[in-house]
């Protein structure tokens, strides 16, 4: 009986995925159909791909679309390369940084380190996040450079204290909807992290 339950538990996701693909016109042809192609050739007129390929390209594409839609955009100040560098920093920290966590009174200290260019990405991201988010919703942030990277001391508001262990460093770095606004500011030639 236990083996049957284990087998059902293992196969259930595949059954759901197959049913979902069938219900939504998916299956083996689904990726081709989403990209404007069927297995027999081009898709119907008007069909268009929706995904740009990867998250950094999607973020840049979104910002370019906003800039082009805004007649007040000063194209002499636009700097998409600066936005790309910021996205590289975000990716480097998220994917390559090492984080050690220790408790401090009222919060936690995250020591974030990495080698080579990751170290500088850490320093830029941690100090920028601390400067931007310090005081928001009663959370306090202190950043400092250390050998190999930076430290971030986070003291949440008392009502949010239980969140901190679950969020950890990476969750803390995502709090607040400031990233999107900053991406637009960076692309417009500004420096929102001062």
How long is the chain? 194
Q: Scanning the structure block, which residue is given the tokens 């973020």?
A: 59
| Residues 126 and 112 sit within 8 Å (Cβ to Cβ) | yes
Mean pLDDT value across residues 110-137: 95
Is there a domain that residue 20 lies in? yes
Within this chain, do residues 139 and 176 fall inside the same structural domain, yes or no?
yes
Is there a domain that residue 192 lies in? no
Q: What is the DSSP string of 79-138?
A: -HHHHHHHHHHHHHHHHH-EEEEEEETTEEEEEEE-STHHHHHHHHHHHHHHHHHTTGGG
Total Cβ atoms within 10 A of residue 167: 16
Compute the distance between CA of residue 82 and CA of residue 190 in angstroms, rounded to an integer. 9
Percentage of the chain modeled with pLDDT above 70: 73
Q: What angle do CA 194, 177, 103 make, to 5 degrees?
A: 75
Is there a domain that residue 48 lies in? no
Compute the distance between CA of residue 123 and CA of residue 152 in angstroms, rounded to an integer. 10
Within this chain, do residues 161 and 125 fall inside the same structural domain, yes or no?
yes
Mean model confidence pLDDT for the chain: 80
Within this chain, do residues 65 and 133 fall inside the same structural domain, yes or no?
yes
Total Cβ atoms within 10 A of residue 79: 13
CA dist list (Å): 92 to 26, 86, 146, 182, 194 = 34, 10, 18, 18, 21
- Count of domains for the chain: 2
Q: According to the model, what pLDDT value does residue 138 have?
A: 96
Within this chain, do residues 97 and 22 fall inside the same structural domain, yes or no?
no
Is there a domain that residue 8 lies in? yes
**pLDDT surpasses 70 at 67:** yes
Q: In sequence order, what are the beta bridge partners of 143?
A: 152
Structural domain boundaries enclosing 29: 2-42
The overall pTM is greater than 0.85: no
Is there a domain that residue 49 lies in? no
Mean pLDDT value across residues 47-60: 82
**pLDDT surpasses 90 at 14:** no
Within this chain, do residues 33 and 62 fall inside the same structural domain, yes or no?
no
Within this chain, do residues 31 and 111 fall inside the same structural domain, yes or no?
no
Q: According to the model, what pLDDT value does residue 179 have?
A: 63
Within this chain, do residues 137 and 65 fall inside the same structural domain, yes or no?
yes
Within this chain, do residues 137 and 164 fall inside the same structural domain, yes or no?
yes
**pLDDT surpasses 70 at 80:** yes
Q: According to the model, what pLDDT value does residue 193 have?
A: 54
């Amino acid at each position: 009986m236990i083996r049957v339950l284990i087998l059902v538990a293992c196969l259930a996701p595949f059954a759901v995925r197959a049913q979902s693909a069938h219900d939504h016109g998916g299956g083996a042809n689904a990726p081709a159909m989403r990209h404007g192609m069927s297995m027999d050739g081009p898709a119907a007129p008007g069909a268009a791909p929706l995904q740009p390929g990867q998250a950094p390209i999607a973020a840049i594409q979104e910002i370019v679309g906003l800039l082009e839609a805004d007649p007040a955009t000063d194209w002499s100040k636009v700097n998409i390369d600066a936005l790309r560098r910021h996205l590289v920093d975000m990716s480097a920290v998220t994917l390559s940084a090492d984080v050690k966590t220790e408790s401090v009174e009222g919060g936690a200290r995250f020591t974030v380190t990495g080698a080579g260019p990751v170290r500088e990405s850490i320093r830029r991201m941690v100090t920028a996040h601390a400067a931007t988010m310090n005081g928001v919703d009663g959370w306090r942030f202190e950043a400092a450079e250390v050998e190999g990277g930076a430290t971030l001391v986070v003291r949440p508001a008392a009502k949010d204290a239980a969140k901190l262990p679950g969020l950890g460093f990476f969750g803390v770095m995502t709090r607040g909807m400031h990233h999107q606004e900053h991406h637009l500011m960076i692309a417009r030639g500004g420096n929102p992290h001062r």
